[in-house]
Amino acid sequence: MTRLFPLLLAAAALLPAQNIGVGIKGGVPLKDSSEFIRPQLTSFRDGDYVVGPMFELRLPAGLGVELNALYRRGAGINSWEFPLMAKYRFPGILIRPTIGGGYMFQRLNDIPGLDNRSGIVASGGVEFKLPKVRITPELRYTRFNEKRPSSGILTGTHQVDALVGFSF
């Protein structure tokens, strides 16, 4: 994953006419896959959140690539997530529907024996283009590749988040 970020920056340098977006993305988990790790915490609790920086390369024809580094606090578990997504923006002037899909790598911090896992991610939302900022509310679904037994527990495989991005 650390090799991918310099590659995106190099691609951005080769495409000087394209837009680059940098900002922040945050929201709340609607269904957190770590709920299965600690089943006594199966509902959304005050204080659960997802937040982190975002980098976006906006290509022609409504296409784009987005990379996030999201910190997740949910169901008593802390983790870092690194989704890399291809995105498409439907035509529009001020409001544009968006869809996206890609790959996610997750690093679980609080559970011994559960270090990393990966999966696919899909999103849908709308982009509001204002003079100096783009606001993008979205729903994001993640399907992790496996249920992995570790220390007698099973991790969940489905995760849904409501996120809002602010990019400049």
* pTM to 2 decimal places: 0.79
* Mean of per-residue pLDDT scores for the chain: 82
The two tokens of residue 142 are 């993640």
Q: For residues 70 and 58, what is the distance between their CA atoms, to the nearest angstrom?
A: 20
pLDDT digits (tens, 9 = 90+) for 21-36: 999 999 999 887 655 5
Q: For residues 144 and 105, what is the distance between their CA atoms, to the nearest angstrom?
A: 9
The predicted pLDDT at position 18 comes to 54
Q: Within a 10 A sphere around the Cβ of 87, how many other Cβ atoms?
A: 23
pLDDT digits (tens, 9 = 90+) for 100-139: 999 999 887 766 666 688 899 999 999 999 999 999 999 9
Domain coordinates in residue numbering, the chain: 4-9+21-167
Q: Mean per-residue pLDDT for 77-86? A: 92
Tell me the fold of 4-9+21-167. Answer: Porin (2.40.160)
